[in-house]
């Protein structure tokens, strides 16, 4: 009742004080009646048809994006699900019917949705009631809105919007993920200072940039062994994890494709250089094996396969051996078709990191035993 009471009192106040003559903007004269049918006015042979189609596609995409975004926003308040396909069909049928009755493009505007939400609507039946009320108003009540001030209509929308501002959610985003907060802030400022479309564009653009940055710069981490177990985890996250002597274990935490192949090659090469320098400065056993944990690599393209082949060649130039641990089935198919498995060697591909480390330790102990035996034979020959 609050919006209706505001409209009635505002209209009465303007009428009694003649405020429209003192600079207060009012709705003014409204024509009675419903919109006339316009199906007969459609001209598919017009020279402006292509321009109308291009404009319609752009407007349709913007209207659909806005409507679905608004729908999902209010769906979170009431904990229900929004089906994007059904929303698209509903928007399409609604605008096809509206275009035959002289209507503008109809979507799900944020302001009217907020007013409808605050009015207590619970289902789509509210739209039927609203349409009936609008039809009755257009037929009989339009003269009563002549003195309705525009500021009253603005205040109804603003009051509805203020109830949707969730400061606690913004603070929660800031505490958990700063980037999500920046997306939220950009969308908010875009809507407040511009329009819903600008806010959507800002939010989508920043989100896409974040995805591109995440995919183009995936995480790579050094794994270590958790004491008294066969589990290998990030040494940055688990301080008690121990490195394996003579073995460098690296995990790639994203799909490998053209956008990040060069970065991964450089990053893995840098890890190898840093590990060799660390071992040399610490006087520990030199590096012999490099294990790549591919359990988080869901897919790989030809650029990623080329990267692995180049990495294998670089590792072999340093007289090191490259091992692969837990590659996914899709990745194994592509590695097999590209003949990279034969180049690496089937004996250097393992199901788990633990098995790969065990194989490396066995080879290191075997080589050490051989060297000891050779040294003993050399000493005996001298004697």
User: Could you tell me the CATH number of the domain that includes residue 355?
Assistant: 3.30.750.24
Task: Give a yes or no: residue 200 inside a domain.
Answer: yes
- Claim to verify: residue 283 and residue 242 sit in the same structural domain: yes
Considering the domain architecture, whether residues 83 and 224 belong to the same structural domain is answered as no
| Contact (Cβ atoms closer than 8 angstroms) between residue 27 and residue 51 | no
Q: How far is CA 302 from CA 185, 256, 263, 350, in A?
A: 39, 9, 15, 22
Show the domain range for 307.
220-381
Given a contact cutoff of 8 angstroms between Cβ atoms, the answer to whether 100 and 39 are in contact is yes
Instruction: For strands 220-225 and 247-252, give the pairing.
Output: antiparallel
Nearest to 208 by CA among 174, 183, 191, 181: 183
Q: Is residue 2 a part of any domain in this protein?
A: no
Domain check: are 232 and 360 in the same one?
A: yes
Q: Which of 116, 145, 174 corresponds to the end of one domain?
A: 145
Judgement on whether residues 99 and 225 belong to the same structural domain of the protein = no
Give the integer Cα–Cα distance in Å for 223 and 99: 62
Structurally, the chain folds into a number of domains equal to 3
Q: Are residues 211 and 255 in the same domain?
A: no
pLDDT (tens place) for every residue of the chain, 383 residues total: 777 888 888 888 888 888 888 888 888 888 888 888 888 877 777 888 888 888 888 788 878 877 887 888 777 777 778 887 888 888 888 888 888 888 877 777 776 777 777 777 777 788 888 889 888 888 888 888 888 888 888 888 887 777 777 788 888 989 998 888 998 899 889 888 887 778 888 888 888 888 888 888 888 899 999 998 888 998 888 888 888 888 999 999 888 888 889 899 999 999 999 888 888 888 777 889 999 999 888 889 999 999 999 999 999 998 899 999 999 888 899 988 998 888 888 889 999 999 999 988 888 888 666 554 555 555 655 55
Whether 231 is covered by a domain: the verdict is yes
């Amino acid at each position: 009742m609050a919006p209706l009471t505001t409209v009635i009192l505002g209209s009465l106040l303007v009428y009694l004080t003649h405020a429209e003559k003192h600079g207060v903007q009012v709705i003014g004269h409204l024509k009675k009646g419903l919109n006339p049918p316009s199906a007969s006015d459609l001209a598919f042979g017009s020279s402006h048809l292509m321009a109308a189609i291009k404009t319609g596609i752009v407007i349709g995409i913007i209207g659909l994006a806005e409507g679905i975004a608004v729908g999902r926003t209010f769906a979170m308040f009431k904990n229900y699900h929004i089906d994007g396909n059904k929303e698209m069909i509903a928007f399409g049928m609604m605008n096809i019917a509206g275009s035959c009755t002289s209507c503008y493009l109809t979507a799900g505007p944020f302001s009217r949705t907020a007013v409808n939400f605050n009015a207590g609507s619970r289902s789509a039946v509210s739209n039927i009631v609203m349409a009936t009320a609008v039809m009755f108003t257009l037929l009989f009540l339009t003269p009563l809105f002549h003195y309705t001030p525009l500021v009253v209509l603005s205040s109804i929308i603003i009051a509805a919007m203020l109830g949707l501002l969730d400061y606690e959610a913004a603070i929660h985003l800031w505490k958990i993920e700063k980037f999500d907060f920046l997306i939220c802030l950009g969308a908010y400022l875009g809507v407040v200072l511009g329009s819903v479309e600008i806010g959507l564009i800002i939010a989508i653009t920043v989100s896409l940039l974040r995805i591109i940055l995440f995919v183009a710069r995936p995480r790579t981490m050094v794994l270590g062994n958790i004491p008294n177990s066969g589990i290998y985890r990030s040494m940055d996250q688990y301080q008690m994890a121990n490195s394996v002597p003579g073995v460098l274990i690296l995990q790639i935490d994203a799909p490998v494709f053209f956008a990040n192949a060069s970065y991964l090659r450089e990053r893995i090469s840098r890890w190898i250089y840093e590990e060799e320098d660390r071992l040399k400065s610490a006087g520990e056993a030199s590096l012999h094996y490099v294990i790549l944990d591919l359990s988080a690599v869901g897919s790989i393209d030809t650029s990623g396969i080329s990267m692995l082949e180049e990495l294998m060649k670089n590792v072999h130039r340093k007289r090191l051996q490259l091992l692969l641990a837990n590659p996914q089935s899709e990745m194994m198919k592509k590695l097999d078709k590209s003949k990279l498995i034969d180049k690496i060697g089937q004996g250097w591909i393992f199901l788990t990191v633990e098995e790969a480390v065990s194989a490396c330790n066995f080879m290191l102990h075997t080589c050490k035993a051989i060297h000891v035996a050779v040294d003993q034979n050399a000493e005996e020959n001298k004697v």
